[in-house]
């Protein structure tokens, strides 16, 4: 696969599909789409089932800490640090 990765904004994607609601990208939507759409990584290699399960598990951990509806745009370095500390503490 050649070319550059493309960033897709959820609001624009919804409008193109005819959905009039503006939806901000949540953690749940991000991980659902990443593991269901596009079966290749930017370098062209296939996303293996083991890799996808690891990503799904990471999404579950993030959703448990932040909440499924947490907006991706609201993630900050400080909040990610809080998450890392939480994960390390078990």
Domain range list for the chain: 10-88
Residues 6+ apart with CB under 8 A from 52: 35
Assign 75 to helix, strand or coil.
coil
* Widest pairwise Cα distance in the chain: 44
In angstroms, the CA 51 to CA 35 distance is 9
pLDDT tens digit string along 1-58?
445 444 555 555 555 555 544 458 999 999 999 999 988 888 999 999 999 999 999 9
Beta bridge partners of 26: 71
Residue 88 pLDDT grade (very low, low, confident, very high; cuts 50, 70, 90)? very high
Give residue 82's pLDDT band: very low, low, confident or very high (50, 70, 90). Answer: very high
pTM of model > 0.85: no
What is the structure's pLDDT at 24? 85
Nearest to 63 by CA among 71, 51, 54: 71
Element (H, E) at 49: helix 49-66
Question: What is the band of 61 on the pLDDT scale with cuts at 50, 70, 90?
Answer: very high
């Amino acid at each position: 696969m050649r070319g550059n990765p493309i960033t897709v904004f959820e609001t624009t994607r919804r409008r193109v599909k005819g959905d009039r609601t503006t939806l901000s990208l949540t953690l749940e939507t991000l991980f659902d789409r990443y593991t269901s759409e596009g079966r290749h990584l930017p370098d062209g290699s296939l996303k293996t089932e083991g890799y996808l399960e690891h990503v799904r598990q990471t999404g579950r951990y993030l959703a448990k800490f932040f909440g499924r509806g947490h907006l991706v745009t609201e993630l900050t370095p400080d909040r990610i640090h809080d998450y890392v500390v939480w994960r390390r503490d078990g």
